[in-house]
Amino acid sequence: MKSIRVGTSRPYNIIIERGSLSRSGELISAVTKSKKAVIVTDDNVDRLYSRTLLDSLEKSGIQADVFVFPHGEQSKDLRVLGEIFDFLCEKRITRSDFLIALGGGVVGDITGFAAASFLRGIDFVQIPTTLLAQVDSSVGGKTAVDIPGGKNLVGAFKQPALVICDSDTLKTLPRPELSCGMAEVIKYGMIRDEKLFGICESHNIDSIDQVMDDIVYTCIDIKRQVVENDEFDRGERMTLNFGHTLGHAIESWHHYTDYTHGMGVAVGMCLITERFCEREITERLKKCLAAYELPVSTEAPMDELLPFCSTDKKCASGGISFIVCEKIGCAEIRKVTVGEFNRLMER
């Protein structure tokens, strides 16, 4: 078993162990005395993993009910959040009980926000089951739901009490979701760790499972360092958004249909790198992304993407921050006006 301690305002452990889902009851009992929980999950994950989790909780004397919502980003909204609150009331959940997010980033984000706001805050445990959720969204305490005005616009910082990463759960992940997670893994290599990038370069989507545990550990440890340095996203944490401003713009341009977050991030990283870095870096990045079946260009015209960039959360008072990696493993935050950003991107 590997464990990483995250030293945020509320410290917690991340357990990385194959098969740990079936030991969840025991692992959770080590961090809480509570014997009552609600598991929040989506229909796909419920079918695959709720039973194993329930059995393990029961063995540790924890009684749990399961709230299931339809999978997909469209469920990460105020309506489903309201349904979760109603369920928690119905099950008479109190401040000494806790929630468990069992699933990908959608489940983690909405459950985390429910935990941050129900009764002004109750504990929650993250059990991420997608690669993206294991290496990114379950760590660091960002929680949110989408509103018609935009993605992730309503949320809170709420650190979990524990994160349990069982990479065996990734075996059932559909191939495009594995690609999506690999976009974030490659991003960590680009912004912080040339060795990690090299490991990604020497594998492909079919062989990456051989080194999955090490990759998950390395990415989580990078995220730990960044989050410990900047828990509330005022500086260094922005480097995690490499490729994301354009990535979100491309996702929006496609109306989020059949276009995953990872695809957007992959193209976003390429669009920035080809404009600001040497050709060799761009070529290595594109070759690496392509090995994980990720796109490296977009049919969306730049002049149609730029309006989405200026409404992104990462814009503040007319300025826009974006990340450039001139050298693999080194990220730099650049702040320019929206006008300047548009001029730089249109060249």
Which parts of this chain interact with ligand GLY (CB under 6 A)?
Answer: 136, 140, 142, 233, 237, 240
Token pair recorded at residue 281: 């870096």
User: Least separation, in Å, of the C-beta of 98 and ligand NAD?
Assistant: 19
One symbol per residue from 66 to 105: x for binding ligand NAD (CB under 6 A), - otherwise; what is it? -----xxx--x--------------------------xxx
- Residues near 236 by beta carbon (within 8 Å), at least 6 away in sequence: 226, 229, 230
> Quick one: which segment of 137-145, 190-198, 228-236, 310-318 binds ligand NAD (CB under 6 A)?
137-145
Which residue's Cβ has the minimum distance to ligand NAD?
Answer: 105
Asked if 180 touches ligand NAD (CB under 6 A), the answer is yes
The phi and psi torsions of 32 (rounded to 5 degrees) equal -145, 145
- Positions in 258-317 near ligand NAD (CB under 6 A): 261
For residue 309, the partner it binds in ligand NAD, ligand GLY, none, with Cβ less than 5 to 8 A by kind, is none
Burial call 270-308: b when 16+ CB within 10 Å, e when fewer? bbbbbebbeeebbebbbebbebbbbbbebebeeeebbeb
Torsion sign over Cα 186, 226, 152, 132: positive
Residue 100 to residue 122: CA distance in whole angstroms:
11
Q: Which neighbouring-strand residues pair with 107?
A: none
Asked if 140 touches ligand NAD (CB under 6 A), the answer is yes
Task: Please give the C-alpha separations between residue 125 and each of 11, 94, 202, 318, 340, in angstroms, as whole numbers.
Answer: 13, 16, 34, 38, 43
Asked if 168 touches ligand NAD (CB under 6 A), the answer is no
User: Least separation, in Å, of the C-beta of 194 and ligand NAD?
Assistant: 23
> Quick one: which segment of 16-24, 133-141, 270-278, 288-296 binds ligand NAD (CB under 6 A)?
133-141
Residue of the chain from 63, 94, 172, 311 that contacts ligand NAD (CB under 6 A):
172
Q: Does residue 15 contact residue 162 with C-beta atoms inside 8 Å?
A: yes
* Site of interaction with ligand NAD (CB under 6 A): 42, 44-45, 48, 71-73, 76, 103-107, 109, 129-130, 132-133, 136-137, 140, 142, 152, 169, 172-173, 177, 180, 261
